[in-house]
């Protein structure tokens, strides 16, 4: 893979919370349109890695390249302007705006002028949201809010969507619905970084995967190979 195909090129990342050293030299590359799974037990550094990539962890070291730009010292929001949409667990919805307003407010063209994720397409992708179109954000169930968050991310025409525990705590039917949408996003050519407790699904639906243990990458590669690795169960505690 040539460097120019990489939309994210993070190398040797370290992160600290005060004196606590949490990431110990993590590298992560994502190519255009690629789906990457990020696995690891609780507290191993997955969210910290994402927050570091987005510039939210200020005590950090290492290189972060995004679309060929050096973002190592960038502030939060700079990544969003470049086309990275972050869908944090159960957040990102305006409670006092309707579903329609939440979506329309997020709308903007992609960096290359793309406008293929229209309001109508998002509605067609999430039939449940269509039924709730006039409801306020705070009248939605947790699953509907999560869908709305993903819908808002799509309306920004991102190059990369980061989904941190998008299915956490949701009913099985809703979880299945979200995985269906994740597959649709993948098929549409948007790169994704996915954190989810269901490691089997993550590995079955991603191109590459990496497993974190105590802030270090202990296993990485093609997802199919990671799924077959004898050490996987030990790292995930399953
Ligand atoms: N704001 C914070 N201040 C101090 N320590 C933190 C903070 N956030 C996370 N940590 C610590 O950093 C380590 C990594 O946490 P992180 O949330 O990145 O793990 P994770 O793999 O995402 O796990 P989880 O699935 O539980 O969120 C843990 O030891 C955690 O206690």
Q: What is the pLDDT of residues 175-195, one digit of tens each?
A: 999 999 999 999 999 999 999
End-to-end CA distance of the chain: 33
Using the structure block, give the residue that is written with the tokens 């969210």. 47
Using the structure block, give the residue that is written with the tokens 């406008």. 115
Instruction: Catalogue all structural domains in the chain, each as residue range(s) with its CATH number.
Output: 1-82+200-238 (3.40.50.300)
Ligand 1 binding pocket includes 17 (Cβ within 6 Å): yes
Instruction: Please tell me the residue having the least CA distance from ligand 1 atom 16.
Output: 45
Using the structure block, give the residue that is written with the tokens 């030299």. 25
Ligand 1 binding pocket includes 140 (Cβ within 6 Å): no
Ligand 1 binding pocket includes 42 (Cβ within 6 Å): yes
Q: What is the mean pLDDT of residues 129-137?
A: 95
* Complex ipTM tops 0.85: yes
Instruction: Please tell me the residue having the least CA distance from ligand 1 atom 2.
Output: 17
| pLDDT band of 144, cuts 50, 70, 90 | very high
| pLDDT score of 90 | 63
Q: Residue 49 in contact with residue 212, Cβ under 8 Å?
A: yes
Q: Residue 124 in contact with residue 131, Cβ under 8 Å?
A: no
Ligand 1 binding pocket includes 235 (Cβ within 6 Å): no
44 C-alpha to ligand 1 centroid (Å): 7
Among candidate residues 138, 152, 68, 42, the one with its CA nearest the CA of residue 103 = 152
From 14, 41, 45, 54, the mutation candidate for ligand 1 (largest count of ligand atoms within 8 A of CB) is 45
Helix axis angle, 172-187 to 142-155, nearest 10°: 10
Among candidate residues 209, 74, 181, the one with its CA nearest the CA of residue 121 = 181
- How far is residue 155's CA from residue 117's CA, in Å, rounded to a whole number? 6
Q: Dihedral of the CA atoms 193, 208, 175, 77 (nearest 10)?
A: 0
Q: Residue 91 in contact with residue 49, Cβ under 8 Å?
A: no
Ligand 1 binding pocket includes 44 (Cβ within 6 Å): yes
Ligand 1 binding pocket includes 181 (Cβ within 6 Å): no
Strand 84-87 to strand 69-70: parallel, antiparallel, or no bridges (unpaired)? Answer: unpaired
| pLDDT score of 94 | 93
């Amino acid at each position: 893979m040539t460097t120019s195909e990489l939309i994210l090129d993070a190398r040797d990342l370290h992160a600290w919370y005060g004196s606590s050293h949490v990431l110990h030299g993590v590298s992560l590359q994502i190519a255009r349109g690629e789906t990457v799974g990020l696995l690891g037990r609780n507290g191993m550094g997955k969210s910290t890695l994402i927050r570091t990539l987005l510039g939210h962890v200020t005590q950090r070291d290492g290189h972060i390249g995004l679309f060929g730009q050096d973002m190592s010292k960038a502030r939060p929001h700079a990544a969003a302007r470049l086309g990275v949409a972050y869908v944090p667990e159960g957040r990102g919805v305006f409670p006092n705006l309707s579903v329609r307003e939440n979506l329309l407010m997020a709308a903007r063209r992609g960096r290359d002028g793309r406008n293929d994720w229209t309001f109508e397409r998002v509605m067609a992708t999430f039939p449940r949201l269509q039924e709730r179109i006039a409801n306020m954000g705070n009248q939605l169930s947790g699953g509907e809010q999560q869908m709305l968050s993903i819908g808002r991310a799509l309306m920004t025409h991102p190059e990369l969507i980061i989904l941190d525990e998008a299915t956490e705590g949701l009913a099985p039917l809703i979880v299945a619905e979200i995985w269906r949408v994740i597959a649709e996003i993948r098929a549409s050519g948007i790169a994704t970084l996915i954190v989810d407790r269901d490691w089997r699904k993550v590995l079955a639906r991603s191109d590459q995967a990496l497993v974190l243990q105590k802030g270090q990458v202990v296993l990485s590669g093609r997802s199919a190979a990671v799924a077959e690795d004898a050490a996987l169960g030990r790292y995930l505690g399953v």
